[in-house]
Amino acid sequence: MSLAEVLALPVLEAAPRLLGARLTHGGVTVRLTEVEAYAGADDPGSHAYRGPTARTATMFGPAGRLYVYFTYGMHHCANVVCGPEGQASAVLLRAGEVVAGHDLARSRRPGVRDRDLARGPACLCRALALDRSHDGLDARELVSIADQPVVEPATGPRVGLRLAPDRPWRFWVPGDPTVSRYVAAAPKRPRGTTPSRPGTPGG
């Protein structure tokens, strides 16, 4: 199945098929080992749940675009838009293994082990030098589908969500050391306290 055919699928079918795919940007290539599915208007955990905004406009466009957002005032996270235009489905790229461009990735993530260079959505974006300026980029020019995709991915709840937290829409390569650690959303805190930052919800 080609990348275009994969991205035309409903998000819950497309997401696991992206495991093992390679994403290249900024002189670095990452093999995807963990992703999360977000289903737009049918998903309270999605940025697009309440309809289009200036921030989420890319999600409502054609499949194959990168939706890159800025979160917590410090991190970028990247999604690949999939499914029919207007439905705002997207796959958050949660983690991967750097397979080329190690020196560049290390310079962007100094002092961490190689397994952690792209472990977590913000780390992945930093290793690949992806930021908000790349929102809307054609991911089909950056991603190549694996010849042998993961047939039986592990599944579980998405990371750090308070809304729809139990949907098993996170997919990962079982046993891969680059998969990020699961953290449930912290309970809401009273006003005036500092919130914790357990995860980075996506598309």
Examine residue 182 and state whether it is found in any structural domain, yes or no: no
Examine residue 40 and state whether it is found in any structural domain, yes or no: yes
Examine residue 88 and state whether it is found in any structural domain, yes or no: yes
pLDDT, tens digit (0-9, with 9 covering 90-100), for 17-65: 999 999 999 999 999 999 999 998 999 999 999 899 998 999 999 999 9
Examine residue 65 and state whether it is found in any structural domain, yes or no: yes
What range does the domain containing 87 cover?
3-172
Total domains in the chain come to: 1
CB 32 within 8 A of CB 22: yes
What stretch of H or E contains 102? helix 102-108
Examine residue 193 and state whether it is found in any structural domain, yes or no: no
Q: What is the domain-level CATH number for residue 131?
A: 3.10.300.10
Examine residue 51 and state whether it is found in any structural domain, yes or no: yes
Confidence bin at 1 (pLDDT 50/70/90): confident
Quick one: pLDDT at residue 184?
81
Examine residue 63 and state whether it is found in any structural domain, yes or no: yes
Quick one: pLDDT at residue 129?
98
47: which residues sit within 8 A by CB, 6+ positions away?
A: 38, 55, 56, 59, 69, 201, 202, 203
Q: Quick count: other Cβ atoms within 10 Å of Cβ 149?
A: 15
Examine residue 197 and state whether it is found in any structural domain, yes or no: no
